[in-house]
Amino acid sequence: MRVASKIKPRPAQGLHPMRTLNTKRRTTWPLIILTIAALSLLPTPGPVAAQGADQSITVTANTVNYVFGQRVTFHLEATSPSPITNAVIAYRTADNQGTSVFPLSFDPAPQVSLDHVHEISRGYLKPFVTIEYWWTLENEAGQQVNTPLQRFTYKDNRFGWHTASSPNAIVHWYAGDATYAQAALDIATRSLARIGQELNVTLSDPLHLYLYASTEALQSALLPRQREWIGGEAFPELNTLLIAVPPAEGYTLFMRRIIPHEITHILLHHATGGAIARVPPWLNEGLATFNEELPDPDAALMLQAALKEDRLLPLDSLCGTFPSDAEQVRLAYAQSASLVRFVRDFYGEQALAGLVSAYANGMSCRGAVDRVLGLSLEQLDSRWRA
């Protein structure tokens, strides 16, 4: 189960006059995503000192700190014989959200201390994403300096994480013992191999799996609007998976469902060349649910009851967003998994691969079924129900 976050672009801004002498200023940043044209004008990271010894700008401090889930503060201090007049900070995240640029305002001065504050409530950052940033400074003499590229990882530092690893997966956990972590690592390792073979894809970098000890702890790291029943989140661009698994009796049973489920989303992202959003929910979530090592024991009974009472969801409704009602969404997942099983059993694994490829190439929900299976959605739905 996944919820994708997006940062809305805004027009790039130019340099503005500064207003403050030797005092810290905080700016709350609306996100400004550069266009390609603006990117071509943006200075790139470079040496700390500007050319020209008499008027050079010297950066004396360049740090970042954050309170997870609340704010990130970038801090810079610099001196120059000629008053520093302009300062801009730029940053980009490893999940390809684009480069953002923010000018600061303060009075020209030969010595400045600047803070730029990113409020998480106004610009969500995915947990454990790597962020690159640099500053551009200019003084009254026209000298300019670009600080070297800096990187940090926005970790959920509310917890003390331990790690366990295999060649293609790294498990991070803070509660429970080594046996708990090893169980997750074993499931992740074999799921990557099994599902990767099914989708004909392997990860070039290891999967990072973070185990939260409660649903509340996980949800506090995610977007506030997510549904209360969500117990896992995949960030395919980061090869990162977050799940809530209390280290209590029976945790292995839940791991065997949710870990393969979310790994399917990550592998499907790579199998489609990043075009997983084009894969309709019935196939995306159907594959993920179908690949769970331990299927929901109530799914078959739920489907039988829905069929008997004529409550099954039309297949075309599964081409769009699943229902928000908890019972309806469980039915949507169960139907989707059953449909995937039906297609595999009656049309073969090559048919599933063909559907994934057709959707990745931009075909519609109906068009791909017609092209690959030679059926309309209604015909596929009818044959599955029979």
> What does the pLDDT look like over 45-65, one tens digit per residue?
655 554 444 579 999 999 999
Residue 288 in any domain: the answer is: yes
Indicate the residue among 271, 295, 314 that finishes a domain: 271
Residue 258 in any domain: the answer is: yes
Indicate the residue among 153, 169, 195 that finishes a domain: 153
Report pLDDT for 228.
56
Cα 310-316-322 angle, rounded to 5 deg: 85
HSE of 97, CA atoms in CB hemisphere, 13 A: 27
Mean pLDDT of 177-190: 98
Which range, of 5-14, 133-142, 223-232, 347-356, averages the lowest pLDDT? 5-14
Q: Where are the beta strands (DSSP E) in 10-98?
A: 58-67, 71-93
Does one domain contain both 148 and 175? Answer: no
CATH (domain of 186): 3.40.30.160
Please tell me the distance from the alpha carbon of residue 82 to that of residue 93, in angstroms, as a whole number. 33
3-state secondary structure of 341: helix
| Position 10 confidence tier, pLDDT thresholds 50, 70, 90 | very low
pLDDT at 323 over 60: yes
Split into its structural domains, the chain has a count of 3
Residue 183 structural domain: 159-271
Largest CA distance in the chain: 86
| Position 314 confidence tier, pLDDT thresholds 50, 70, 90 | very high
A 10 A CB-CB count for 181 gives: 22
Residue 18 in any domain: the answer is: no
Please tell me the distance from the alpha carbon of residue 243 to that of residue 222, in angstroms, as a whole number. 11
Could you tell me which residues come within 8 angstroms of residue 34 by beta carbon, excluding any fewer than 6 positions away?
12, 42, 98, 99, 100, 101
237 secondary structure, DSSP code: G
Mean pLDDT of 98-123: 95
pLDDT per position as a tens digit, 19-49: 333 333 334 333 333 333 334 335 556 555 5
Q: How many percent of the chain have pLDDT more than 70?
A: 85
- pTM: predicted TM-score of the whole model, two decimal places: 0.83
pLDDT at 304 over 50: yes
Does one domain contain both 69 and 111? Answer: yes
Return the structure tokens found at 156.
Answer: 């959920």
pLDDT per position as a tens digit, 185-211: 999 999 999 999 999 999 999 999 999
29 touches 120 (CB < 8 A): no
| Position 380 confidence tier, pLDDT thresholds 50, 70, 90 | very high
Mean pLDDT of 152-162: 98
Does one domain contain both 253 and 266? Answer: yes
> Mean pLDDT in the chain?
87
Nearest to 365 by CA among 345, 330, 336: 336
pLDDT per position as a tens digit, 235-263: 999 999 999 999 999 999 999 999 999 99
Does one domain contain both 165 and 236? Answer: yes
244 touches 214 (CB < 8 A): yes
Report pLDDT for 43.
52
**Residue whose token pair is 């670009």:** 146
Mean pLDDT of 338-367: 97
Mean pLDDT of 267-296: 96
Does one domain contain both 110 and 214? Answer: no
**Residue whose token pair is 């700390």:** 48
DSSP string, 159-185: S--EEEEETTEEEEESSS-HHHHHHHH
Residue 16 in any domain: the answer is: no
Report pLDDT for 227.
54
Could you tell me which residues come within 8 angstroms of residue 298 by beta carbon, excluding any fewer than 6 positions away?
none
Report pLDDT for 231.
86
pLDDT at 9 over 50: no
pLDDT at 218 over 90: yes
Residue 219 in any domain: the answer is: yes
